[in-house]
Chain A
Amino acid sequence: MTNMDNDSRHLLIPEVDHEINPGPMNIQFDSSDLRSKRPFYIEPTNIVSVNEGIQRVSDHASAMNKRIHYYSRLTTPADKALIAPDHVVPAPEECYVYSPLGSAYKLQGYAEGYGKNTSLVTIFMIWNTMMGTSILSIPWGIKQAGFTTGMCIIILMGLLTLYCCYRVVKSRAMISSVDITTWEYPDVCRYYFGSFGQWSSLLFSLVSLIGAMIVYWVLMSNFLFNTGKFIFNFIHHINDTDAVLSTNDSNPVICPSAGNGGHPDNSSMIFYANDTGLQQFEKWWNKSKTVPLYLIGLLLPLLNFKSPSFFSKFNILGTVSVVYLIFLVTLKAIRLGFHLEFHWFMPTEFFVPEIRFQFPQLTGVLTLAFFIHNCIITLLKNNKNQENNVRDLSIAYMLVTLTYLYIGILVFASFPSPPLPKDCIEQNFLDNFPSSDILSFIARIFLLFQMMTVYPLLGYLARVQLLGHVFGDVYPSIFHVFILNLIIVGAGVIMACFYPNIGGIIRYSGAACGLAFVFIYPSLTYIIYLHQEERLTWPKLIFHVFIMTLGLANLISQFFM
């Protein structure tokens, strides 16, 4: 018998194509219906791309191909006995379409999820996803923490969440025994912590989603209210000056909460009591009493759609809004100038100290601002050069940090402090501009539209996760879905009416879900993995336990500071 032991393991042998005429084989049948007798032939148009120089399939690969075909005929499809195990089948990027004539074609994009996006696109997508509405609360957060402390905290939190995100990305690679290509981070948690991990990751994920949706509702009512007011005032040519503290120049900045002992209030006082038309409008267009309810009619139907893929087309609005905000802030800063004074520990009439004890509020906001850990794996999957994943992630985080720093510092610094105390910076910094301000009106419109398109997407995600896990079916019935939507919308409306502090909502939900996804799970799975590999050293253990304590402290301090 011939000795066939030395096989080349290469799948392709680059070779000069011997087929001068790679057309259908000549058939010497005398058949009237020649087409029915033609052998299997791939039309060139059906092949998406051809590698330069037609390559032949190696004998080893075609033997394997034949073997797999034959074995699949020997059993029922349900039987796993003769299905090729992973270690004998070539990796997805080495799979080719094999024509019986021996030529091999690689289909571009055949291997799903591998390498369609360049680094730039990936970085942009990560940045875009992370830029949420928490950007509006950053200046307030800096104010709560103190300017210097605020800046340091932003940078440190960025680094810390980046490290935890890196742990999340690497967590899948630590699991070698199972096929993990479709796994997202909650699946990894389930692998390590069993059903406790699955349910807790579901719970925390829902906390972040529903928290985001409540924030959205509050903001949307806010923006809708202001937009409506602007339009009304514009139409009726009312030069409306709220009786709130405000600067008296061409770039008005207001301090809505000045007269109310620091509690933000959604009522605006307009001293036109003798104008009944305006009073009527006031009655029907109230930020906390009526506008949130009008939104129900707009958004509740949208939430019931089975598939919100229509809304994902509006993803670009988010980027436009952020870019516009940056532009707006820059312009205002140029016009208002810088007003900074450094007092380290004692608050003054107009300024806040550089170091304040309310800094956990900023860390809470930042936990949500830098949160992307539950979907980073999916975002990085499409990166063309997977080995650049960590680098691209770091660049994206750096850009996000810079954006937050930029907006936060500019708004804080340009806040006109001599007439208005820095304490006036609102949890939504757009609230510091009167509704008659054109630039912020445009910003509000952009954000309103953007949020209205993202809201159904968030609702869809919450629905998929909750109903999918509890009922096993993503859309059990219109009844279930409607109840769920009512609950979510109801929560949003109640918050908008009674507690519209988006800073508060963001920091509580951020610290809560960040506790699991940002701090505890990545560190804990890494510790367990090292322990299984017996590479756990004391410094690593201490460092990661420290991270977990930080997360816990973050959450607890939200309630006390």
Chain B
Amino acid sequence: MEDSDSEKKMEKENLGPRMDPSLGEPEGSLGWALPNTAMKKKVLLMGKSGSGKTSMRSIIFANYIARDTRRLGATILDRLHSLQINSSLSTYSLVDSVGNTKTFDVEHSHVRFLGNLVLNLWDCGGQDTFMENYFTSQRDNIFRNVEVLIYVFDVESRELEKDMHYYQSCLEAILQNSPDAKIFCLVHKMDLVQEDQRDLIFKEREEDLRRLSRPLECSCFRTSIWDETLYKAWSSIVYQLIPNVQQLERNLRNFAEIIEADEVLLFERATFLVISHYQCKEQRDAHRFEKISNIIKQFKLSCSKLAASFQSMEVRNSNFAAFIDIFTSNTYVMVVMSDPSIPSAATLINIRNARKHFEKLERVDGPKQCLLMR
């Protein structure tokens, strides 16, 4: 299962370079050939270095942060001798001047979600001149096939002009290469701003960003990893990426009513972001989505330490029973029943039957085997 694979990959040296392989580049140069990139659409997570992208990705995708994730850097590439690509395994090896071989995963991001989306992290406007140059030279490749651009701004940054400048150059590249991409701007680290000032500062930034982004449309969120805003922002992003979400919600409601559940949630598989949910009565805890997501991601991390992968969970007590299980190829479902007299087997059979129905729903939406379509 791809979950366990990606967990295992995470635990190794995460020294994958953040260089986007392009098609058809000759070997021996600084490009790589990658099979089957045509199908994958990218989610670009960009922002100044130090704005919190790595932590954000780690939290949302339950990646263990190996802090040594520095880019290759000029020093290693200087000693780069030859370049080999093992296309079937989608890895490549570098042999440096001393004869040491280093193997890197081309899919350096390790994270795929919503079917065919691949997350790429880029530091925009960093100090590293090597990366700057590479970024500029490979710009078109980087910005091709982009589905979503998520740009992260550090609210405490002192160089607003520079930030906006980099943001605009990214937008230009998007306009040229992927004009249909959705743009999201996250104003991050809001916990460092005093509470009474947060709304004001965010509104200011939002206006500026909206203005600068024309003719493209951007949605802005204010986020912080220390409250629920990060999860909500990413859930909103994911929600907007699903084209048939209303239909999904209708079906979910039918499902819930048929099986007499209190609440049914649909999670995205990799991130446990809530795609949609239906509740038939008022729930007390407004933070429950994020809490469940964190609990399950933590559990997944524990499972991966044992080289096991999380598949399903049942929690019962005298007041309720909750079932978390794989649903479709991109989603998990959570069913909460408050009638504990209904045996588990009945609910599990219901979930299994619903699974077939929802998978058909996904496939109906187009020739591509993914939830997302253009």
A residues near B (Cβ < 8 Å) are 1-2, 4, 7, 25-28, 59-60, 62-64, 66-67, 69-71, 73-76, 79, 81-82, 84-85, 87-88
Contacts and interface: CB of A to CB of B under 8 A. Distances in A.
A1 B235 contact: yes
Nearest to A63: B287
Interface string B216-227: 000000000111
Interface in B204-259: 225-228, 232, 235-236, 239
A75 B65 contact: yes
Given A7-B286, A88-B191, A81 B316 contact: no
A4 B227 CA distance: 12
A93 to B, nearest CB: 20
B58 A74 contact: yes
Contacts of B316: 25-28
| A-B residue pairs, 9 tightest by C-beta | A63-B287, A70-B294, A4-B286, A88-B226, A25-B317, A59-B285, A70-B298, A26-B318, A66-B291
Contact of A26 (B228, B236, B286, B317): B317
Nearest to B54: A81
Contacts, number: 86
Given A25-B317, A71-B59, A81-B55, A76 B228 contact: no
Contact of A81 (B67, B285, B317): B67
A76 B290 contact: no
Contact of B191 (A27, A69, A87): A87
Given A1-B235, A74-B65, A85-B191, 16 more contacts: A4-B232, A7-B228, A7-B286, A59-B286, A62-B287, A63-B228, A66-B290, A70-B59, A70-B294, A70-B297, A73-B298, A73-B301, A73-B302, A74-B59, A74-B64, A82-B65
B63 interface: yes
A559 B55 CA distance: 64
B261 interface: no
B186 interface: no
A67 B294 CA distance: 7
B150 interface: no
Interface residues of B, number: 35
Contacts of A64: 226-227
A63 B55 CA distance: 18
Given A27-B316, A81-B55, A1 B67 contact: no
Interface of B: 55, 58-59, 62-65, 67, 191-192, 225-228, 232, 235-236, 239, 274, 284-288, 290-291, 294-295, 297-298, 301-302, 316-318
A126 B23 CA distance: 78
A61 to B, nearest CB: 10
13 contacts: A1-B236, A1-B274, A7-B228, A26-B317, A66-B291, A66-B294, A70-B297, A73-B302, A74-B65, A74-B301, A76-B67, A82-B65, A88-B227
Nearest to A65: B291
B191 A63 contact: no
A63 B290 contact: yes
Contact of B298 (A69, A79, A84): A69
A67 B229 CA distance: 12
B291 A62 contact: yes
A82 B298 CA distance: 14
Contact of A85 (B226, B295, B297, B301): B226
Residue among A26, A73, A79, A85 having the largest count of chain B Cβ atoms under 10 Å: A73
Contacts of A70: 59, 294-295, 297-298
A62 B284 CA distance: 13
Nearest to A9: B195
